[in-house]
């Protein structure tokens, strides 16, 4: 039979509140509301379906303080990660929220009411203390600490919730299961011993071997339960990962394993998070839980050292194993032995035996360059899916962002570069000239700093979408402010390549090149706030290329941009 829930009772609030659903739905439409963040949405879904049992709401101040300082709820039950509803104080004041108030919690995707919270208390916390106690560090290189510092609102709201609606999902609906649904599946399949496997990465042969070994060791079946909520920034998207998991499931013996998705917002909290994961899997009915090397680890700190020891998470889960009442299956990293064509735990490999490994960094390099990925490492079906989602550079999009004063020559460079890239072929080429964008997208904007920043942000959005679709985008606005250019770079770089070209033609030459006489009008005072005359231009300090059309020909500048693109593999046949 399935394992008992944490605390003894599965707190499925959908079932509890079903008799009140019509009344709660009507009430939700009359109450002040809060639109949830993505993390809050994930947390709420697992509160409502019982995945976070014994929680029935967001932590009150007493619960928060107890969890942060002792890894326990005030009841004494083990709980290692604080679960809170953070809201801006000004917004709370606008809502008139006080202890005893009821607020509707709405889905950020479709504005549907999901739950009603009855506020028990409103409080603030010491974020440094939370970072040090929960994550063991105040280093912002840790994703949870960075989130805490930059994304968490200033005030926390605690209180129990009542279920109104479940979040609506449109992807992989058949394998998104609540704890009760997973438990029913175990019962239907007559599974009595179940090893749960947590992952936020694609699975390869080593992962399949690890889970099968765990099943053999514990005479159990396997629940593959990957996270499809929030994971580490930069991770492979969950759509790609789930396609990989679906491709690998037939590699298990028939009847051995099931795949079920978990809408968890990970904190990458290492040891404390591993205990939290074990509690969650217990709520889903698993009797065993695999804790591998550096479980839920975020990688390196700002000094280049790992935040947590490789087996620190295992040690903490083992410390609480009797209280958790879920058997921990600790594993060391598996390594491939080519001479015997098998995987073995690294601590069981005899000295002198030849081993092979491919690191995550090396895998990303091979995907990026199109280098071969051997079958001993992964299955062809998995590699195909990963290559589709991570095409080599010559199939990826990029943006060349030219910035400089009016009449600096950047638009001439942009047009010439468009011709060169069209001649190269292989992808569509789009040209976003400053005046074109002003006319087509930003005609209502003026020339204050705020309005200039909005205009540049719109260019960045369009450039990022073109880049994501595999196109070449050439943008040529003035873009006088460094922070706005930096935000464009961050946005585009998530989609593909980004190259900043500073067209540093001197002001005197720009004035001379200005056939329309705009500079003359600005100097005469007829135009106010004109860049280079009575408004500043902040020269980039991090440009990939600096060009001056008074010293270098347009064709040579274009050639130098082409060389940058060839160097990084975006064009040319390697």
Report d(CA 238, CA 147) in Å as an integer: 20
Q: Which residue has the tokens 């040319």?
A: 572
Verify whether residue 201 is a known catalytic residue: yes
Q: DSSP letter at 197?
A: E
Angstrom distances, CA of residue 124 to CA of 61, 140, 424: 8, 20, 58
- What is the dihedral sign for C-alpha 87, 91, 93, 94? negative
* Contacts with 423 (C-beta within 8 Å, 6 or more apart), sequence order: none
Long-range contacts of 461-466 (CB under 8 A, 24+ apart): 461/491, 462/432, 462/437, 463/399, 463/401, 463/432, 463/488, 463/491, 463/492, 464/399, 464/491, 464/492, 464/494, 464/495, 465/495, 466/397, 466/399, 466/430
Question: In 369-448, where do the E strands start and end?
Answer: 398-404, 429-433
Report d(CA 14, CA 112) in Å as an integer: 16
Is residue 162 reached through a cis peptide bond, with omega within 30 degrees of 0 on the bond before it? no
Whether 157 and 14 have beta carbons less than 8 Å apart is answered as no
Which residue among the candidates 199, 403, 467, 531 is catalytic per the annotation?
Answer: 199
> Exposed, middle or buried, 32 (CB in 10 Å: 0-12/13-18/19+)?
middle
Q: DSSP letter at 134?
A: I
Report d(CA 117, CA 23) in Å as an integer: 15
Q: DSSP letter at 37?
A: P
Structure tokens belonging to residue 85: 């509803």
Structure tokens belonging to residue 134: 């929960």
Instruction: From 78, 35, 42, 494, select the one nearest 266 (Cα to Cα).
Output: 42
Q: Find the helix or strand (DSSP H, E) in which 114 lies.
A: strand 113-118
Which residue among the candidates 118, 201, 240, 550 is catalytic per the annotation?
Answer: 201
SS3 275: helix
Instruction: From 329, 358, 347, 377, select the one nearest 206 (Cα to Cα).
Output: 377
Verify whether residue 199 is a known catalytic residue: yes
Whether 261 and 198 have beta carbons less than 8 Å apart is answered as no
| Rama region for 5: left / alpha / beta (φ>0; ψ in -120 to 50; rest) | beta
Partners of 503 in the β-ladder: 404, 547
Query: Strand 121-123 relative to strand 57-58: parallel, antiparallel, unpaired?
Result: unpaired
For 430-462, letters b (16+ CB in 10 Å) and e give bbbbbeebeeebbeebeeeeeebbbbbebbbeb
Catalytic residue ranges:
199-201
């Amino acid at each position: 039979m399935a394992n008992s829930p944490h605390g003894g009772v599965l707190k499925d609030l959908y079932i509890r509140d079903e008799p009140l659903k019509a009344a709660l739905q009507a009430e939700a439409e009359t109450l002040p509301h809060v639109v949830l963040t993505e993390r809050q949405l994930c947390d709420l879904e697992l509160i409502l379906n019982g995945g976070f049992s014994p929680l029935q709401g967001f932590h009150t101040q007493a619960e928060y303080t107890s969890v942060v300082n002792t890894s326990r709820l005030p009841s004494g039950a083990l709980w290692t990660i604080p679960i809170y509803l953070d809201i801006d104080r000004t917004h709370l004041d606008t809502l008139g929220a006080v202890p005893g108030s009821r607020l509707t919690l709405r889905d950020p995707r479709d504005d549907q009411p999901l739950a009603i919270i009855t506020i028990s208390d409103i409080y603030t916390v010491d974020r440094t203390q939370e970072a040090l106690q929960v994550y063991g560090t105040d280093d912002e290189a840790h994703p949870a600490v960075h989130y805490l510092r930059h994304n968490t609102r200033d005030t926390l709201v605690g209180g129990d919730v009542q279920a109104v609606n479940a979040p609506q999902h449109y992807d992989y609906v058949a394998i998104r299961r609540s704890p009760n649904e997973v438990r029913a599946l175990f019962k239907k399949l007559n599974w009595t011993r179940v090893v749960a496997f947590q992952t936020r990465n694609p699975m390869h042969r080593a992962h399949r071997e690890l889970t099968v070994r765990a099943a053999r060791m514990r005479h159990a079946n396997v629940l593959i339960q990957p996270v499809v909520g929030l994971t580490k920034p930069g991770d492979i998207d969950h759509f790609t990962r789930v396609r990989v998991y679906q491709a690998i499931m037939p590699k298990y013996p028939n009847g051995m394993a099931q795949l079920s998705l978990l809408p968890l917002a990970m904190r990458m909290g290492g040891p404390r998070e591993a205990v939290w994961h074990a509690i969650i899997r217990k709520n889903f009915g698993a009797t065993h839980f695999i804790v591998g090397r550096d479980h839920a680890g975020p990688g390196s700190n700002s000094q280049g050292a790992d935040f947590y020891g490789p087996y620190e998470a295992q040690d903490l889960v083992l410390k609480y194993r009797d209280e958790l009442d879920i058997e921990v299956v600790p594993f060391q990293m598996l390594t491939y032995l080519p001479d015997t064509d098998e995987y073995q735990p690294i601590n069981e490999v005899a000295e002198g035996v030849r081993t092979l490994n491919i690191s995550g960094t090396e895998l990303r390099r091979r995907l990026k360059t199109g280098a071969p990925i051997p079958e001993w490492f992964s299955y062809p079906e998995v590699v195909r899916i990963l290559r589709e989602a991570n095409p080599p550079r010559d199939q990826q999009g990029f943006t060349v962002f030219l910035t400089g004063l009016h009449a600096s020559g950047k638009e001439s460079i942009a047009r010439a570069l468009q011709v060169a890239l069209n001649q190269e072929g292989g992808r569509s080429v789009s040209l976003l000239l400053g005046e074109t964008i002003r006319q087509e997208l930003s005609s209502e904007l003026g020339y204050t700093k705020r309005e200039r920043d909005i205009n540049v942000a719109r260019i960045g959005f369009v450039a990022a979408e073109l880049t994501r679709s595999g196109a070449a985008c050439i943008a040529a606005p003035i873009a006088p402010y460094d922070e706005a250019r930096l935000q464009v770079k961050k946005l585009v770089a998530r989609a593909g390549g980004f190259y900043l070209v500073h067209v540093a033609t001197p002001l005197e030459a720009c004035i001379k090149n200005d056939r329309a006489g705009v500079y003359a009008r600005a100097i005469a005072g007829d135009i106010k706030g004109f860049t280079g005359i009575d408004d500043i231009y902040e020269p980039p300090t991090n440009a990939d290329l600096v060009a001056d059309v008074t010293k270098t020909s347009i064709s040579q500048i274009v050639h130098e941009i082409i060389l940058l693109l060839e160097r990084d593999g975006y064009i040319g046949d390697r």
